[in-house]
Amino acid sequence: MKTLEHQTLLYDEDCPLCQAYSTGFIKAGMLDKNGKKPFSNLTDEEHRFIDFKRASNEIALVDNQNKTVIYGIDSLLKVIGNSFPWMEKVGNISPIKYLLKKLYSFISYNRKVIIPNKKTEQNILQCIPSFNYKYRIIYILFAIIITAFTLYNYSGLFQDLPKGNFSREASLAFGQIIFQSSFLLKFDKKTVLNYVGNLMTVSLFGSLLLTPVLLLNQFLEIPEIIILGWFAITVLLMFMEHFRRIKILQLPPYLSYTWAVYRIIALIIILNLYV
């Protein structure tokens, strides 16, 4: 690998993905040993030439010699392109770069609902992205689609129950958002959408846990008791994750219990409709 010297990535230390790829660049020799720095360690001098708000949304690559900065997908393409010039050329093709920027923004603006972190002391500088309604709503819709698709396929593994449909599962996912949001009417829109983002991340977490069974069942006939048991374990793990996130968000603990109540009600309705 060709090392890009005298360049430092300002990464979000509370973002595991940011930590992973910035550390990976250094271990691979693409950046020197000083090639990454926590955003919270910004110096007064760096504050003078770094766009603080933009760096919160898009990872900044600082040229320590020229005191210049590039952001987001451009910074990643420069680091990668130093070792693989062809990747930088491909990445800079207009349609591809447009898609890369959109994907980067989708992840960056939602990273705090994908992996939330506890609030720190007010005098500690945190790399918190701006609240973006468009990307938050897109994330929620994306999570609904993935969740509905996974549950639709998983329900088909139960021989004794009629197979569901995608529309039903999507309606149940959307219904839970409405149900849970009704307990947050006294909070502002951003708080509600932050919670809903976390709520749907929990659903994605559950979908991820169910996926191995779906894949394995393509090659082996898994006993229904195991399928049901794994589903029960998944729901329990989802409840625990939801409870953990509620504490981090400093929201009322009863939201975890209403989350469980909704799922029980939904199950009773489904059984009464199809049995």
Quick: pLDDT tens for 85-144.
Answer: 999 999 999 999 999 999 999 999 999 999 887 765 555 677 889 999 999 999 999 999
Structure tokens at 102: 């959109």
Q: Chain centroid to CA 89: how far? A: 28
* pLDDT for residue 98: 97
Confidence of residue 175 (pLDDT cuts 50, 70, 90): very high
Quick: pLDDT tens for 209-233.
Answer: 999 999 999 888 889 899 999 999 9
Quick one: average pLDDT of 61-68?
90
What whole-number percentage of the chain has pLDDT above 70? 95
The C-alpha atoms of residue 156 and residue 165 are separated, in whole angstroms, by 9
Point out which residues pair with 8 in neighbouring strands. Answer: 62
Q: Residue 65: name the closest of 11, 8, 26, 3 by CA.
A: 8
Supply the mean pLDDT for the chain.
90
Least confident piece of the model among 58-62, 125-129, 192-196, 246-250: 125-129
Burial environment of residue 186 by CB neighbours within 10 A (0 to 12, 13 to 18, 19 or more): exposed
Burial environment of residue 107 by CB neighbours within 10 A (0 to 12, 13 to 18, 19 or more): middle
What whole-number percentage of the chain has pLDDT above 90? 65
The C-alpha atoms of residue 261 and residue 264 are separated, in whole angstroms, by 5
Quick: pLDDT tens for 2-53.
Answer: 888 889 999 888 888 888 888 999 999 999 988 999 888 888 888 888 998 8
* pLDDT for residue 2: 84
* pLDDT for residue 12: 87
Q: Is the pTM of this model over 0.75?
A: yes
Structure tokens at 106: 């989708």
The C-alpha atoms of residue 124 and residue 126 are separated, in whole angstroms, by 6
| Greatest extent of the chain over all pairs of C-alpha atoms, in Å | 71
* pLDDT for residue 121: 55
* pLDDT for residue 227: 92
